[in-house]
Structure 1
Amino acid sequence: MAGPPKTRAQAEKQSDSSSNGSSSASRDPTQRSETKSIPRLDGNRDPNIKYAVDYTVATDLKNISDFLGLAGWYTARGITIPSSLPQRPKNFNINGKECAIKLNTFNVAKAPDTIVHQYDLSYNGDAEDYTKRVLLRKIWNSSAVKTALGEPTNLWVWDTNKLAWSGRRLERDDLRISVDLDAEEGRPTKPGARGNKHVIHVKWTRKVDFIHLNAFLQGQASWSTDCIDTINFLDHVMREWSSQRYTQIKKSFFQRGQERFDLGGGVEAFKGVFASLRPVLDDKFQKSLSVNVDVANGTFWRSQDLTAAVIQVFNCSLPQFTVMYRSALRDWNASTLKRDLRKFKRVGVSTTHTKLPTQWTIDEFVNLDVNQATFPDPDDRTKRISVAKYFKNKYNINCMIHVPVVKMTKKIRKEPVYMPIDVLKIDANQRYNTKLSDIQTSSMIKFAVTLPKDRWAAVEQGVRLLNWAEDPYLRHYGLQVNSNPSKVKARVLPSPNVQFGPGSKEATIKAGDLIQGRWRLDNRKFAMINKLNPIKSWGVCCIQVPRGTPPVPAVEAFIQKFIQIYEGHGGGVLAHPQHGKKPWMGGGNLADGGEMVAKVWNATGNRYNSPPNFLMFIVSDRNVDVYRRIKKSCDIRFGVASQVLQGRHVMSASPQYISNVCMKVNAKLGGATCVAKSNLIPKIAPKSASIPTMVVGADVSHPAPGAASAEAASFAAITVSADIHFARYWAEVQTNGNRVEMVTTSNIDDHFGYMAKNWMQKIGQGRPPQRVLYIRDGVSEGQYAAVLEEEVRDMKECFKKLGCKEIPKFTVVIAGKRHHIRFFPDAGKGDRNGNPLPGTLVETGCTHPFEFDFYLCSHVAIKGTARPIHYQCILNEGEWLSAELQQFIFEHSYQYVRSTTPVSLHPAVYYAHLAADRSRAHINDSPVSSGKKESKAEKKTTVGSSKQTVEIAPLMGIPNARGLKDVMWYI
């Protein structure tokens, strides 16, 4: 909820928010309205739309703190808080066993009670772009500014952009300060060069007091922009001193000079500390403020010569790089070299050929070397001089040839600046933003993963680094943080009764195995098997490579074992009158491209005189391109279920590995591994089982940052439960523009609508569900409202289009993984690694003061410290009881079809992850074969993060002639 129920009506007046497209407080936020509070694009909102940056407006959204909750974001946007927003349940969950948990949160012992003055900052002068944080930092830290603002006597807090706060009000509310950075740096501006003079405009805008926040936390007032201002200020006060001593990346701090861990490719990692202040329901059941402290793992460019970095990125020698460059010149714009060099964009470098290093920022590598790149000769402006000749004449340096020069972001006299790569060095402590390679990712995991005791030691070290007791800014503003962590009484929820199929030697899992979160499939039969679709016409292709291809006898032995174990789990393999149960087997050649799969398909079909219903491929390694090529042909061209195996596992033929493969094969043919039966929900919600319920999961995955991400597609995946046990799920995936976070209206109409109709026909007996549980993954707090106002509204429209007289009641839960809350059980109360047991539920100490959220750890971490999932209920039309919803989510983690452990995330969302990742194989721009059989689909135009028009082609559709869309094809 937004605050105490009686005072919610005291929110911002309607007149303040009418211009922002708000609606009345009583309006259902999922219903369609003519005026929308959030802009839409291609059906739904593009999250990268920029709001006006004007800090004199109370509802400005720039740089406000996290963890405000949905009501806080409604207030920040000037929109009336809807009455449908679920409030924190009056009673906490009392089921299961109590468990003492230490959290990595630290309560604020004393908040400021003085008045703080907030100032708005603006800049003008010689610079063309005043959004560059490096320039703004130089201006702010200049002696001219410090003197004018009365520092160090008066300690100012700055947000590194447009806001600043002071404990004392300046004599003038409107102050302009002139700064000459060239003079301050001891290098006067050269005649004829562009100056480096700036003016910072400091304007008083408002008082930040703590009365409103205290009243809100004490239940005496609702959310207000004053509360948000105060939390924003406190969050920046917490970071000010640390940002001056350490390298700051958002809310994380990294010690300069700390020991680095080499990830290869010119990238290194090191650990830091994360700290964030937020309002919480604390461990003493008080609404207060708390600071979340955790380990931060950062990746940074190694500080070294740019030439060395380029060579490391491409893992080659300098002569090899020159060959690559010459080859790329044939078609530079389409070359992979140009694309991969984009990862250096915006990297800061310094010159090595001058006494006083000059700092530059890389814009791009260009298709010119030092002899080809020219600029106006400083000695004779009527002539141009090459970069090579200039450096030889002025510095007596022979620059490297046959390698690209670097164009910088800064221009001189409107001319681009070109620099040779061999006179540049990458500056220290710069974040590496591009996606890591597989090898780098593996190294990063080894570096980042730590056991709970080690992670807690790192948290304590982080608290010592932050050193709150000695922080001059905290002391100056009267903020005190308790250095002792929060300790809460958590609950370990009761495990469900996990059941397997009839004929199993052990039809259920022992209680001890359920609590430990791991069991075996030995002598157990799958709970669901599609008897109408046994393996009957199938083939096995072993892809031939020079090394790593299993010999034919090993493959035959593996297939024999697979049949034996699959049938042992209840799976069906039909015997052919002539060939028995032995599949077609043959080799495959990657040089054939997509035609390799066609040859396997044809050979298998000819053998059985019927279309294949299952194909198996054995590959030599984890090559994602080979995998996607196979999946694209099987899924799109032939609509057949397929399984890819690694040769080394085929060679070892481990029964446990084969059982894992069997689980996936069974799901792809229409089955499910096990079913979780609740022992608790029938007691706390007796009518629950009789209410027709549909579970929906959704996730939107975006391209990794770095090269070509501005033109790449995002993928929206939606899953819908396909049986009454919620064990199987249909999935539909489609491109979703470029970095568009909300699932577009067209995607919901086409794909959710299709599955909703399927559900009504096959499960609902022609009727819609009475309630829908929609679990949405991957959205930030600022986008919660858009999920309701756009995605849920569009889903309801789908049911209307299907002719439903009564629209299902929606309950919407956001599942969040990207947070820094961790559980640390008392010694001996967790698992063998010190992690919490599956089912550990935390409702206090780190949760929102008023809204309905909780943290649930439903799995056992194989490595490192377990990360709980943060679930927040933002709509509850279905009137789920809190204990029922928590238990339902936990119990379903035990019936994930391809695992013999409970999983961390509700399977509906987990499956959406898998489907979105699998859909990358269905992209339309890489043909299955030679491309002759393909036609280009109509492209959708969206505006992506690059602010340029981006054409995103839809995925190629999965044919359903053989029922592939009706099973879990993505597993």
Structure 2
Amino acid sequence: MAGPAKKRAQAEKKPTSSSDSARQSTQGSSGREVASQRSVPKSIPRLDGNRDPTNTVKAVDYSKPTDLKNISEFLGILGWYQARGLQAPDALPHRPKVLNNLGKELMVKLNTFNVLSTPTKIVHQYDVAWGAETDATKRAVIKKIWQSKAVKSAIGEPQNMWIYDGNKLAWCAKRFERDEIRVVVDLDEEENQRRAQEGLQPRRARASGNKHKIFIKWTREVPFTSLQAFLDGHISWDNNCIDMVNFLDHVMRETPSQHYTQIKKSFFQRGEQRFDLGGGIEAFKGVFSSLRPVLNDKLQKNLAVNVDVANGTFWRAQELPRAILQVFNCQMAGFQQMFVNSKRDWRASTLKKDLARFKRVGVTDTHNPKAPTQWTIDEFVGLDAEDAKFPDPDHEGQNISVRQYFKTKYNFNCTPKLPVVRMTKKIRKGPVYLPMECLKIDPNQRYNAKLSDRQTAQMITFAVTRPRERWAAVQAGVGLLNWQNDPYLQHYGIKINPQPATVKARQLPLPTVSFAGTSTLKPTDLTAGRWRIDKLRFIGPNEKAITSWGVCVIGGRGGLQQPQVQAFVDNFIKIYKGHGGKFSPHPQKGEKPYIMQGNLAKGGEMIAELWNATGNHFQSRPMFLMFMVNDRNIDVYRKIKKSCDCRFGVVSQVLQSKNVEKNQPQYISNVCMKVNAKLGGATSFAKSTTIPKIAPKSASLPTMIIGADVSHPAPGSMSQEAASFAAITCSADATFTRYWAECNTNGNRVEMVTTDNIDKHLGSMARKWIQRTGRGQPPKRVLYIRDGVSEGQYAAVIEEEVRDMKQVFAKAGCKDVPKFTVVIAGKRHHIRFFPDKGGFDQNGNPVPGTLVETGCTHPFEFDWYLCAHVAIKGTARPIHYQCILNEGEYQAMELQQLIFEHSFQYCRSTTPVSLHPAVYYAHLAADRSRAHVNDNPVSSGKKEAKGDGGVAKSSTGSSKGKVEIDPLIPMSNGAGAMDAMWFV
């Protein structure tokens, strides 16, 4: 326990670049610069501490999925192919020569700011390497070494204005006489010098010493002429461009990172007002900043900076025990009892898992106020202060308990029945245990775990702001970044326009939204983005008339009374029939359902009881089941869905009792839309009056639309063992109003949909499409819309997923494999629209159909931003669409118009949706599939993930090691549930 402890750097942490090492160029036989290599010497040989570390150079490129994530938005798909050393596909679409001219013109202000000038002086790039005694994976140690007086003196700081990525790269405008600088740093000596200046006692020198050697070697000049040549279109992407962008990204962040708390590309002012989320967590706002190449508002290829509001969640700076009691919402006595009960089987205890959210949290001890020390939590152990022991530093060969040590050394009384905390720091190669009651959480530490439902609701309340307030926050963020007075930007000659870009946008033409008969919606309703369907009949009613259905009313606190249930059922039947829903009355029982009282304590048997009782009541297989629950309990919801989907194969609808009690017609109409879709119907059809004019042959080409989404486990202690879920949707008719969906597990954090999942699940839907929709013929073209992938994964979508999908059609017997057009739909970006004159709703958000193709889009690649919906609260977030493959030869305007018009066909909404329905349905299905998790897997069960031992493999997977993931329980299709939209 005794001995010096590692003290965390006083400055805020600065995230490191994901770039691995310095880039060195070599000359090919033709004299042309070829792809360069990166040196990653982890250490130098122990035999000679002065040996040049380049003897251990290992060739490394940008092939790892995590490399260059900090500039992935900048690279685009062409840049990623170049970074990987791959040949870009010939079919890669380029930006259309003519912008969309449909609809009417709007002026839209963007939160992007044009770069007026790039570096004017030569910038030198250096490779940073370490001696054998330094563990380069410990970022805090590396940061201390770089910021040491010895290193600063050797490299001439702060005069030379060095930029360091915290890993293997450094830049400076000065080139030293020698190509390599070697510095020896004694961190203990510098720490004791600092302590002496502050009047503190010096630390005891550690036996192993704390000296480090750093090697800073010149590798190349960064030629910014290449960047301008790229932007002017004279050269394609090359490694020079990648290195230049990497430098620009770091120089942009250097000054803000020194003044604010930095989390990736966001900066949070330390004095900002906090918003309490509960559970020891607080939120506050910051500013997001990102550099990117754009086709600017003057139609020039240029650089721009995207600035937006950032909302961060942080641990509240307070005593650790207080934070724990807030997390568990209990008093100290209750927590002590929880610990006593959990000690019997600590490893498997829920308490241990819940406390794991504190892992890697920085704390400061308070038992010795004269010399407080900062630590990092490793984990809570199943020992209290009396049980936890370590070698007594004052009596060799003897152990001493934590309680006794703290009482003797510091006169500190440890509280009994509390777990001690093990730190990441080791002393004399042994663990360090500290009592939790002597620790305080350090300020400005990000909270990475998943928020609770209550915290999420609070976070939404905090984060949602109207356009006017958001724009004011963007301007405040520009003020915080203070580009004009940034010393690093000035030093390197970078100028940014503080005035935002204003571009010409288009408001795309509206479709005609039709219901049964001659009923259509008014254009004013479509522009307003919201309509009512009270007197409208669905375009497609349920395929089979309802003859047998049951209702389960779950009792308990807040439960419904029989008259309330009966009144709702009567109204549901009336309203559904008014929308065109079909019932086939039973000769004796009529149209009304079988109603029973349910008890959650019975678990799955409650659903079985309803299933059997309903079947016996009507003497036929139940067609759908309805459940009335008392509150929004995700566990209850998933248990119901699991039994209905996987055991009985029947579609189901879960309702909250409070909504049943209100019995409002509009709510019932919303329920009818869901029930109708689950029983084979469709709500409405968006008929295009534009596409037949611009692409008259489009309607004659049999087309299938596929959507896909992969959802990952929330961050936390178990996220490295939990499953990811992949969902694939497929259009089920020629009008794209109905979709099938199939799901399964997708390994642990494997982003690409695995070959097994595509082969099995898309395979079954493709065969069904050929038999039913295509009447024996395959589609001529496929529009594949993929959700949830970053720019660095675009290439993998083509090389892995599209390749596997084409093989599916080949296996299905297609002589001519369909032509694929692939569009990536991105939601996680920071581009926002602020309409200047006209084109906005009462809240200041853009009207549905607002299309932006300049100011924030890539200069060469085919992408656009589309706001298809109306934001109910806050500022509307447009969807970023990028076409990365266009074998189907869609015209740009046709593709943009089609995606917009389909947003009016979402089957369970009376609004246009922001995202294309194929992707929206995939997201719903992936989330619903969590209810199908196999909690009791059999040892012989098939592993539904690709690779050895059930471990999914993908070039874009981030799982460390092999994680065994079991497949989901298959859905039962006895009642044709898989042919219906069971997921809505």
TM-score category (smaller protein): over 0.9
Q: What residue in structure 1 maps to residue 492 of structure 2?
A: 477
Q: What residue in structure 2 maps to residue 511 of structure 1?
A: 523
What is the CA distance between 1:374 and its match in structure 2? 1.0
What is the CA distance between 1:330 and its match in structure 2? 2.2
Distance of 1:700 and 1:407 partners within structure 2: 36
Please state if 1:413 is matched with 2:413: no
Q: What residue in structure 1 maps to residue 967 of structure 2?
A: 954
Please state if 1:497 is matched with 2:501: no
Distance of 2:535 and 2:627 partners within structure 1: 27
Distance of 1:292 and 1:814 partners within structure 2: 20
Which secondary structure state, in structure 2, belongs to the residue aligned with residue 952 of structure 1? coil
**Aligned residues of 2:644 and 2:651 also touching (Cα < 8 A):** yes
Distance of 1:459 and 1:95 partners within structure 2: 31
What is the CA distance between 1:69 and its match in structure 2? 0.6
**Aligned residues of 1:827 and 1:834 also touching (Cα < 8 A):** no
Please state if 1:893 is matched with 2:903: yes
Please state if 1:305 is matched with 2:319: yes
**Aligned residues of 2:727 and 2:741 also touching (Cα < 8 A):** yes
What is the CA distance between 1:326 and its match in structure 2? 1.1
Please state if 1:536 is matched with 2:569: no
What is the CA distance between 1:838 and its match in structure 2? 0.4
Q: What residue in structure 2 maps to residue 292 of structure 1?
A: 306
Which secondary structure state, in structure 1, belongs to the residue aligned with residue 128 of structure 2? strand
Amino acid at match of 1:113: T
Task: Show CA shifts across 1:906-936 (max 9, x none).
Answer: 0000000000000000000169xxxxxx887
- Identify if the C-alpha distance between structure 1 residues 397 and 336 changes in structure 2 by more than 3 Å, giving closer, same or farther: same
Amino acid at match of 2:473: A
Distance of 1:56 and 1:797 partners within structure 2: 33
What is the CA distance between 1:461 and its match in structure 2? 0.2
Which secondary structure state, in structure 2, belongs to the residue aligned with residue 298 of structure 1? strand
Amino acid at match of 2:864: F
Q: Which residues in structure 2 correspond to 1:568-583 (within 5 Å)? A: 568-583=578-593
- Identify if the C-alpha distance between structure 1 residues 459 and 388 changes in structure 2 by more than 3 Å, giving closer, same or farther: same
Q: Which residues in structure 2 correspond to 1:453-468 (within 5 Å)? A: 453-468=468-483
Task: Show CA shifts across 1:849-885 (max 9, x none).
Answer: 1000000000000100000000000000000000000
| Number of aligned residues | 918
What is the CA distance between 1:361 and its match in structure 2? 1.0
**Aligned residues of 2:514 and 2:684 also touching (Cα < 8 A):** yes
Distance of 1:58 and 1:327 partners within structure 2: 50
What is the CA distance between 1:591 and its match in structure 2? 0.5
- Identify if the C-alpha distance between structure 1 residues 623 and 516 changes in structure 2 by more than 3 Å, giving closer, same or farther: same
Q: What residue in structure 1 maps to residue 941 of structure 2?
A: 937
Could you list the runs of 5+ residues in structure 1 that have no partner in the other structure? 1-9, 21-51, 928-933
Task: Show CA shifts across 1:726-764 (max 9, x none).
Answer: 010000000000000000000000000100000000011
Q: Which residues in structure 2 correspond to 1:595-614 (within 5 Å)? A: 595-614=605-624
Please state if 1:775 is matched with 2:785: yes
**Aligned residues of 1:363 and 1:409 also touching (Cα < 8 A):** yes
Task: Show CA shifts across 1:34-87 (max 9, x none).
Answer: xxxxxxxxxxxxxxxxxx997985878345512211000011111122221100
Could you list the runs of 5+ residues in structure 2 that have no partner in the other structure? 1-27, 39-55, 196-201, 944-949
Q: Which residues in structure 2 correspond to 1:701-780 (within 5 Å)? A: 701-780=711-790
Please state if 1:274 is matched with 2:280: no
Which secondary structure state, in structure 1, belongs to the residue aligned with residue 909 of structure 2? coil
**Aligned residues of 2:107 and 2:835 also touching (Cα < 8 A):** yes
Distance of 2:148 and 2:206 partners within structure 1: 24
Please state if 1:526 is matched with 2:512: no
Which secondary structure state, in structure 2, belongs to the residue aligned with residue 380 of structure 1? coil
Q: What residue in structure 2 maps to residue 969 of structure 1?
A: 982
Q: What residue in structure 1 maps to residue 128 of structure 2?
A: 121
Amino acid at match of 1:953: D
Which secondary structure state, in structure 1, belongs to the residue aligned with residue 291 of structure 2? strand
Amino acid at match of 1:338: K
Please state if 1:865 is matched with 2:875: yes
Which secondary structure state, in structure 1, belongs to the residue aligned with residue 799 of structure 2? helix
Q: What residue in structure 1 maps to residue 453 of structure 2?
A: 438
- Identify if the C-alpha distance between structure 1 residues 539 and 727 changes in structure 2 by more than 3 Å, giving closer, same or farther: same
Superposition CA RMSD, Å: 2.0
Q: What residue in structure 2 maps to residue 699 of structure 1?
A: 709
Q: What residue in structure 2 maps to residue 134 of structure 1?
A: 140
Q: What residue in structure 2 maps to residue 557 of structure 1?
A: 567
Q: What residue in structure 2 maps to residue 428 of structure 1?
A: 443
Which secondary structure state, in structure 2, belongs to the residue aligned with residue 185 of structure 1? helix
2:156 to 123, 144, 150: 150
Please state if 1:451 is matched with 2:466: yes
**Aligned residues of 2:35 and 2:239 also touching (Cα < 8 A):** no
Please state if 1:164 is matched with 2:170: yes
**Aligned residues of 2:315 and 2:441 also touching (Cα < 8 A):** yes
Please state if 1:672 is matched with 2:662: no
What is the CA distance between 1:179 and its match in structure 2? 1.9
Which secondary structure state, in structure 1, belongs to the residue aligned with residue 590 of structure 2? coil
Deviates further, 58-67 or 115-124: 58-67
Q: What residue in structure 2 maps to residue 40 of structure 1?
A: none
**Aligned residues of 2:754 and 2:952 also touching (Cα < 8 A):** no
Distance of 2:37 and 2:973 partners within structure 1: 48
Q: What residue in structure 2 maps to residue 321 of structure 1?
A: 335
- Identify if the C-alpha distance between structure 1 residues 87 and 828 changes in structure 2 by more than 3 Å, giving closer, same or farther: closer
Distance of 1:517 and 1:147 partners within structure 2: 62
Task: Show CA shifts across 1:382-420 (max 9, x none).
Answer: 111111111111101011221111111121122111111
Which secondary structure state, in structure 1, belongs to the residue aligned with residue 683 of structure 2? coil
Deviates further, 940-949 or 416-425: 940-949
Amino acid at match of 1:81: A
What is the CA distance between 1:189 and its match in structure 2? 4.8
Amino acid at match of 1:265: G
What is the CA distance between 1:665 and its match in structure 2? 0.1
**Aligned residues of 2:37 and 2:61 also touching (Cα < 8 A):** no
What is the CA distance between 1:133 and its match in structure 2? 2.6
| Aligned sequence identity (%) | 65
Distance of 1:14 and 1:696 partners within structure 2: 44
Please state if 1:256 is matched with 2:270: yes
- Identify if the C-alpha distance between structure 1 residues 635 and 17 changes in structure 2 by more than 3 Å, giving closer, same or farther: farther
Q: What residue in structure 2 maps to residue 238 of structure 1?
A: 252
Distance of 1:904 and 1:424 partners within structure 2: 46
- Identify if the C-alpha distance between structure 1 residues 294 and 55 changes in structure 2 by more than 3 Å, giving closer, same or farther: farther
Q: What residue in structure 2 maps to residue 338 of structure 1?
A: 352
Distance of 1:734 and 1:331 partners within structure 2: 32
**Aligned residues of 2:107 and 2:837 also touching (Cα < 8 A):** no
Task: Show CA shifts across 1:634-682 (max 9, x none).
Answer: 0000000100000000000111100000000000000110000000000
Q: What residue in structure 2 maps to residue 92 of structure 1?
A: 99
What is the CA distance between 1:130 and its match in structure 2? 2.6
Q: What residue in structure 2 maps to residue 487 of structure 1?
A: 502
Distance of 1:864 and 1:525 partners within structure 2: 32
Distance of 1:147 and 1:537 partners within structure 2: 83
Distance of 1:792 and 1:19 partners within structure 2: 31
Deviates further, 746-755 or 403-412: 403-412
Task: Show CA shifts across 1:93-152 (max 9, x none).
Answer: 00001000000000001111321011122234655x432332222222222221111011
Task: Show CA shifts across 1:461-507 (max 9, x none).
Answer: 000000001000000000000000000000000110000012x7xx1
Distance of 2:537 and 2:745 partners within structure 1: 38
Task: Show CA shifts across 1:145-193 (max 9, x none).
Answer: 2111101111011222221110111232222222222222225552554
- Identify if the C-alpha distance between structure 1 residues 139 and 270 changes in structure 2 by more than 3 Å, giving closer, same or farther: same
What is the CA distance between 1:827 and its match in structure 2? 4.7
- Identify if the C-alpha distance between structure 1 residues 654 and 882 changes in structure 2 by more than 3 Å, giving closer, same or farther: same
2:894 to 884, 890, 898: 884
Which secondary structure state, in structure 1, belongs to the residue aligned with residue 963 of structure 2? strand
Deviates further, 836-845 or 407-416: 407-416
Q: What TM-score do you get using the length of structure 2 for normalisation?
A: 0.91
Distance of 1:158 and 1:707 partners within structure 2: 31
